[in-house]
Amino acid sequence: MTNEITAPHKDFESIKKIDENGVEYWTGRELMPLLGYEKWQNAEEVISRAARACINSGQAVDNHFTKSGKMVQIGSNTVREVRDYKFDRYACYLIAQNGDPRKSEIAIAQTYFAIQTRRQEIFEQLPDTAKRVMIRQEVTDQNKKLFKTAKGAGVTKFGLFNDAGYKGLYGMPLSDIEQKKGIKKGELLDRSGSTGY
């Protein structure tokens, strides 16, 4: 199974967020238009059906469908709060399964969330060493994209640029992290996912 997400699936990736616990989620107001639901009232009908399916499967609906609010401008410099949700992957999967099957957007979402759910199941069954290898490859791929973007923005001192990222994440330069963890120079990313720092 390839890790490359193809369009139109990239739309789901582009609106995905990660919470403070590292859990992926999608907001209802961003997700539902991608599923072909322009009117929120129609979207809420699908969300309700998916929430019922969640309950019927023995899951706690609040663990997957988290109610939230979003401030929107309604004119004359006036804002008001509208209902929104945070959906985890399982909730999105259920929403796609309970959407209008005549919509091509629903078929795309069903495929995307089924594949992503299966990938996560497979990943969770892997031994820690295999997970670290996969994480390392993902970080390498993302760093290449980051450095390409940075180069386009005029960055020339990539060592300092990279070290600034470690300082932002860990509050210390890479050399201090390696020393604190007791690992050899250049092996930090090979230890991703291992216990420790």
Q: Return phi, psi of residue 143, to 5°.
A: -65, -40
At 191, the pLDDT band (50, 70, 90 cuts) reads low
CA 165 – CA 168 distance, rounded (Å): 5
Q: Can you give the pTM of this predicted structure?
A: 0.62
What pLDDT digit, counting tens, does each position of 26-84 carry? 999 999 999 999 999 999 999 999 999 999 999 999 999 999 988 888 878 888 888 99
Going by C-alpha positions, the residue among 21, 31, 128 that lies closest to residue 85 is 31
Going by C-alpha positions, the residue among 119, 99, 105 that lies closest to residue 9 is 105
Q: Return phi, psi of residue 10, to 5°.
A: -60, -25
Can you say how many angstroms the Cα of residue 108 is from the centroid of all Cα atoms in its chain? 17
For 66, the enclosing helix (H) or strand (E) is strand 65-75
What pLDDT digit, counting tens, does each position of 8-26 carry? 567 898 999 988 888 899 9
Q: What pLDDT score does 35 carry?
A: 95
User: Rounded to the nearest 5 degrees, what angle is found at the Cα of 61, between the Cα atoms of 56 and 64?
Assistant: 125
Provide the residue ranges of all domains of the chain, joining segments of one domain with +: 9-125, 128-191
Q: What pLDDT score does 2 carry?
A: 46
User: Rounded to the nearest 5 degrees, what angle is found at the Cα of 121, between the Cα atoms of 119 and 123?
Assistant: 65
Cis check for the bond before 127: say yes or no (omega within 30 of 0): no
pLDDT at 169 over 60: yes
